[in-house]
Amino acid sequence: MPEQYSPAPPLCVDLDGTLIRTDLAGECLLLLGKRRPLELLRLMKKLLRGKTALKLALADRVSCDPGTLPYNNDVLKMLQAARAQGRRTVLVSASPRPWVETVAAHLGLFDDILATEDTVTNLAGSSKADRLVERYGEQGFDYAGNAQVDLHVWRHARKAIVVTPARGVLDRARSQAVIAAVFDDRPSAWWTWLRAMRIYQWAKNLLVFVPFLAAHAWANPTVVMQACVAFLVFGLTASSVYLLNDLVDLDADRRHPRKKQRPFAAGMLPVAQGVVATVLLLAGSVLLAALLPPMFSAALAIYYAVALAYTFYFKRVVLADVMILAGLYSVRLIAGAAAVTISLSFWLLAFSVFLFMSLALVKRYTELLVQRDAGFLGAQGRGYHIDDFPLLQTMGVVSGYASVLLLALYINSETGKALYSRIEFIWFLCILLLFWISRVWLLAHRGQMHDDPLVFFFKDRSSQAIAAIAVLAMVLAL
């Protein structure tokens, strides 16, 4: 703490949405729900006494790790500059004092703390303004905030610093206060939501088209329409799962070199909106699924139940996690067949199990590689250790080669011969798949592949060329 202060007025900074890009109450509610869901349900009774009572009771039970919170770098630099100039810095927040003290102690950038301490006064809006005026005088402080409620404070501040403002806040702040600075580096909201929903992952749902394509039923418009609806349903369902997974994995993602940039982990989207979006996406998928045969809805229910089990438990269980990931790919094939009432080939199902097991192992292998390079002894939020590298690689390569063997046996079976008039062209698929799997694992071993094989496929020109040749071979074989 500087021994002498600058004659400039104190710099007062809000916490939620300003110093950090998230809301501590929402994150702590999510954390309590993840660790002790029954305790969360009991705690909700506190809402009858108001939001402040709920936050104070929540602060007695759980706290977020201040070292992993998404801080606003512009605000941190402003605070560091103010400290260097000898200005007094104050962290002022409506959040409970224990949370505010934890953040302030972690940063070491504040000379004073003002926070909510009892259910009588929630230190927000006019209450916050009154406290600051009482302590520093009318226009005796500068204040950094972000929300509509901060307008009450800016009216009494010497200057206003507006940080990632909510809609309409900046215009109103300009009409009521002297704006010293505006910090807003948020990308487009639509683009951020599309990232959070992982729209690029919808490419996995193209698997629902495979059963009717393999059965050569593409000439039936009804079948094509049903498959398209199934694709959309699985996309919405998968996005719902991805949002939930990111919310549950906030702490682990923030410790990951790349995943810390995901929208919720980076604080670009509020966790409360994430919960609502999760429910809405799932509801939309259920309504659309009602347009398809009941067996499709059953397959979708299995997919969602298994995905939930994976999110909350099995992702931390060694080997069970990759087997479930592989199984979720196969469920898409089963659902695709159910959507168009086509019997799924045993060959296709067996082939998919081994191929997707190999790809799931690639994902874990490369994640472990990233964690090793970051100095960790194992994958964050997973059960793997650095020493597991050779075994994961062996299992993945063997599983991939087994899928090539199954493809070769299928081509030579009576089922395969009945579907293709020039079966010799299909043999090219075995060579192409063998080359692609070998290349994927070679690049993974060298650390040259993204931790998601799907992303790798769409960025890798060699993979795209292999896919084009495979399609050509299948067309020539008809």
Residues 385-410 pLDDT 10s = 878 888 999 999 999 999 999 999 88
Per-residue pLDDT, averaged over 377-387, amounts to: 65
pLDDT at residue 381 is higher than 70: no
Angle formed at CA 278 by CA 239 and CA 170, multiple of 5 degrees: 105
**Neighbour tally for 94: CB within 10 Å:** 25
At 376 the pLDDT is 63
Q: Provide the pairing of β-strand 11-13 with 159-163.
A: unpaired
Residue 111 DSSP label: S
d(CA 202, CA 230): 12
Question: Encoding tokens for residue 410?
Answer: 């299928």
Q: Is residue 8 classed as helix, strand or coil in its secondary structure?
A: coil
Per-residue pLDDT, averaged over 175-183, amounts to: 94
Kindly list the distances between the CA atom of residue 37 and the CA atoms of 147, 150, 400, in Å, as whole numbers in the listed order.
30, 33, 40
pLDDT at residue 129 is higher than 90: yes
Residue in this structure with the two tokens 């062209």, named with its chain if needed: 425
Reported as half-sphere exposure (CB side, CA atoms, 13 A), residue 390 has a value of 1
At 380 the pLDDT is 52
Q: Provide the pairing of β-strand 142-145 with 11-13.
A: parallel
Per-residue pLDDT, averaged over 177-194, amounts to: 92
Reported as half-sphere exposure (CB side, CA atoms, 13 A), residue 336 has a value of 28
Backbone angles phi and psi of 188, in degrees to 5: -55, 135
Residue in this structure with the two tokens 């969360």, named with its chain if needed: 40
Confidence of residue 2 (pLDDT cuts 50, 70, 90): very low
Averaged confidence pLDDT in the chain: 89
By percentage, how much of the chain surpasses pLDDT 70? 96
Confidence of residue 219 (pLDDT cuts 50, 70, 90): confident
Question: Among 15-19, 26-30, 45-49, which range has the highest average pLDDT?
Answer: 15-19
Question: Among 39-43, 256-260, 362-366, 379-383, which range has the highest average pLDDT?
Answer: 362-366
Residue 179 pairs in a beta bridge with 160
pLDDT at residue 110 is higher than 50: yes
At 414 the pLDDT is 79
Kindly list the distances between the CA atom of residue 345 and the CA atoms of 301, 316, 348, 350, 400, in Å, as whole numbers in the listed order.
22, 32, 5, 9, 19
pLDDT at residue 312 is higher than 90: no
Kindly list the distances between the CA atom of residue 99 and the CA atoms of 24, 55, 62, 255, 434, in Å, as whole numbers in the listed order.
8, 10, 9, 20, 55
Picking from 247, 246, 210, the residue whose alpha carbon sits closest to that of residue 230 is 210
At 374 the pLDDT is 67
Render pLDDT for 324-343 as a digit per residue (tens, 0 to 9): 999 998 999 999 999 988 88
Model pTM score: 0.83
At 332 the pLDDT is 92
